[in-house]
């Protein structure tokens, strides 16, 4: 297997706040192979957006990468001077944001915005406009040439997201980061955008990091998936493998809670009991221990590494999978 396009090793990020330092990401290991779509799932606050922003170097001012490395095709991104990082953004890495309603400059026609991002090309303005038209057509916007002079507020939310996707792909990135691109859209639009993304990925061949909290979408779109909880990556592998046979109790619980899976009509929807742990004073041991039905004393003290669950690309951070553990069970 060739080298992954993006390699995240032992990444730890902390935010400085008046309350204290929030350790938002801790020792995250994450690979994005070339030409594959990798989903990052987790509930709100698990750190998936922080991970996404760290890849493109757009963390907030009070965020600090305390440890670890992010390599893009061999180039180390952590600690890269601003000018070099800027050279990578919009050429090798592109991003689609969550809220299409505010992602575009409201006072600039979209044609100008789309030619602006091509500013590094030596081509003529007419050529840049043509590329923009072609890409808009490709993402399913009719009458693209006329719409180049339109302003964002004249488009609907779904159309705006398509424009953003067109802009991202216009730069022919090696890596496309999508931060919950369908969360702000309704269900029918979500389906359209997801299938659009799949087509485009096949056509352009870029790698995609798809952040979402919607399991169904990830199942449909992604090749691989990484599950995050409270700042840690607790399971990763091929999407079919992880979703059919989740190894980590949290992932298992997530699926049980998915309303789509409920076969018998019931009054009470299943939930995962307990609350998210405090990330300022991170408790020792397993991060999920307070909410895990299978907890035992080893979980209290020893922080689990990523064990191989099954097959060579499915890992999970749970002591139950430790092959040396006599209590190891293979969850069904």
Partner 1 sequence: MVIYAIQRLLLSMIIIVVAVSLLNVMLHLVPGDPAVMVLGPRATPELIERTRLEMGLDRSMLVQLAMFFGNLLRGDMGTDIFTGREVSTIVMEALPYTLILITVSILWAMAIGIPLGCYSAVRRNSWLDRVTGVLSVATISIPAFVMALYGVLIFAVWLRWLPAIGAGETFAEQIRHLILPAFAVGVSWVGYIARVVRASMLEVMGENHVRMARAFGLREGRILTAHVLRIAVLPAVTLIGAGVAHLFSAAVFVEVIFARPGIGALIVGAVNERNYPIVLGAVLVTTGIIVLATLISDLVVAWLDPRLREEL
Select from 9, 34, 89, 295 the one that contacts partner 1 (CB under 8 A). 89
Residue 43 engages partner 1 in binding (rule: CB under 8 A): no
192-228 b/e (C-beta count within 10 Å ≥ 16 → b) = ebbebbeebbeeeebbbbbbbbbbebbbebbbbbbbb
Tell me how crowded residue 147 is: count the other CB atoms within 10 A of its CB: 19
Select from 13, 63, 70, 103 the one that contacts partner 1 (CB under 8 A). 103
Residue 99 engages partner 1 in binding (rule: CB under 8 A): yes
Select from 117, 141, 191, 272 the one that contacts partner 1 (CB under 8 A). 117
> Which residue's CB is nearer to partner 1, number 61 or number 264?
61
Q: What span, in angstroms and rounded, lies between the C-alpha atoms of 271 and 278?
A: 20
Q: How far is the CB of 213 from partner 1 (least distance, A)?
A: 19
Q: How far is the CB of 155 from partner 1 (least distance, A)?
A: 12
- Rounded alpha-carbon distances, angstroms, from residue 20 to 209, 279, 281, 282, 285: 30, 10, 9, 12, 21
Q: What span, in angstroms and rounded, lies between the C-alpha atoms of 226 and 40?
A: 5
> Which residue's CB is nearer to partner 1, number 152 or number 304?
152
**Residue entry with tokens 């299978």:** 294
Query: C-alpha 175: how far from its chain's center?
Result: 12
How many positions of this chain bind partner 1 (CB under 8 A)?
27
Select from 37, 65, 95, 197 the one that contacts partner 1 (CB under 8 A). 95
Select from 106, 142, 273, 293 the one that contacts partner 1 (CB under 8 A). 106
Q: Which helix (H) or strand (E) holds 27?
A: strand 20-32
Select from 39, 42, 68, 90 the one that contacts partner 1 (CB under 8 A). 90
Residue 54 engages partner 1 in binding (rule: CB under 8 A): no
> Which residue's CB is nearer to partner 1, number 95 or number 318?
95
- C-beta separation of 287 from 230 below 8 A: yes
> Which residue's CB is nearer to partner 1, number 165 or number 253?
165
- Report the candidate in 272, 254, 253, 174 with the shortest Cα–Cα distance to residue 218: 254
Part of the chain binding partner 1 (CB under 8 A), chosen from 72-80, 116-124, 215-223, 297-305: 116-124
Q: Give the chain's count of helices (H) and strands (E).
A: 12, 12
Residue 56 engages partner 1 in binding (rule: CB under 8 A): yes
Tell me how crowded residue 61 is: count the other CB atoms within 10 A of its CB: 7
Long-range contact set of residues 23-26: C-beta below 8 Å, sequence gap at least 24: 23/231, 23/279, 23/280, 23/282, 24/50, 24/63, 24/231, 24/279, 25/50, 25/51, 25/54, 25/231, 25/232, 26/231, 26/232, 26/282
Q: What span, in angstroms and rounded, lies between the C-alpha atoms of 5 and 206?
A: 10
Per CB under 8 A, contacts with partner 1 among 160-219 are 164, 167, 171
Select from 17, 75, 86, 202 the one that contacts partner 1 (CB under 8 A). 86
> Which residue's CB is nearer to partner 1, number 4 or number 173?
173
Per CB under 8 A, contacts with partner 1 among 135-164 are 151, 153, 164
Residue 97 engages partner 1 in binding (rule: CB under 8 A): yes
Tell me how crowded residue 74 is: count the other CB atoms within 10 A of its CB: 8
Residue 122 engages partner 1 in binding (rule: CB under 8 A): no
Q: What span, in angstroms and rounded, lies between the C-alpha atoms of 148 and 142?
A: 11
Part of the chain binding partner 1 (CB under 8 A), chosen from 82-90, 185-193, 244-252, 255-263: 82-90
Q: How far is the CB of 9 from partner 1 (least distance, A)?
A: 23
Binding residues (CB under 8 A) for partner 1: these are 56, 58, 86-91, 94-95, 97, 99, 102-108, 116-117, 119, 151, 153, 164, 167, 171
């Amino acid at each position: 297997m060739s080298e992954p396009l993006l390699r995240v090793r032992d990444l730890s990020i902390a935010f400085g706040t008046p309350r204290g330092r929030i350790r938002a990401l801790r020792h995250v290991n994450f690979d994005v192979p070339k030409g594959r779509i990798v989903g990052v799932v987790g509930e709100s606050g698990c750190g998936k957006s922080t991970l996404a922003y760290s890849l493109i170097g757009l963390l907030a001012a009070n965020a600090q990468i305390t440890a670890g490395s992010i390599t893009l095709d061999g180039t180390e991104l952590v600690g890269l001077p601003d000018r070099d990082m800027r050279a990578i953004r919009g050429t090798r890495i592109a991003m689609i944001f969550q809220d299409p309603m505010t992602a575009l400059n409201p006072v600039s026609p979209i044609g100008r915005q789309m030619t602006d991002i091509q500013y590094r090309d030596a081509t003529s303005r007419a050529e840049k406009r043509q590329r923009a038209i072609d890409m808009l057509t490709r993402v399913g916007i009719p009458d693209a040439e006329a719409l180049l002079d339109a302003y964002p507020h004249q488009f609907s939310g779904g159309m705006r997201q398509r424009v953003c996707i067109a802009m991202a792909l216009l730069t022919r990135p090696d890596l496309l980061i999508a931060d919950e691109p369908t969360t702000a859209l309704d269900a029918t639009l979500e389906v359209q955008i997801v299938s659009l993304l799949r087509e485009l990925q096949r056509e352009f061949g870029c790698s995609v990091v798809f952040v979402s909290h919607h399991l169904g979408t990830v199942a449909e779109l992604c090749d691989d998936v990484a599950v995050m909880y409270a700042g840690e990556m607790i399971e990763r592998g091929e999407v079919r493998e992880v979703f059919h046979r989740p190894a980590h109790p949290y992932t298992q619980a997530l699926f049980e809670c998915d309303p789509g899976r409920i076969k018998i009509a019931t009054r009470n929807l299943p939930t995962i009991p307990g609350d998210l742990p405090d990330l300022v004073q991170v408790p020792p041991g397993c991060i999920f221990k307070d909410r895990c039905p299978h907890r035992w004393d080893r979980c209290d003290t020893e922080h689990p590494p990523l064990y191989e669950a099954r097959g060579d690309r499915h890992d999970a951070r749970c002591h139950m999978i430790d092959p040396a553990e006599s209590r190891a069970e293979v969850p069904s």
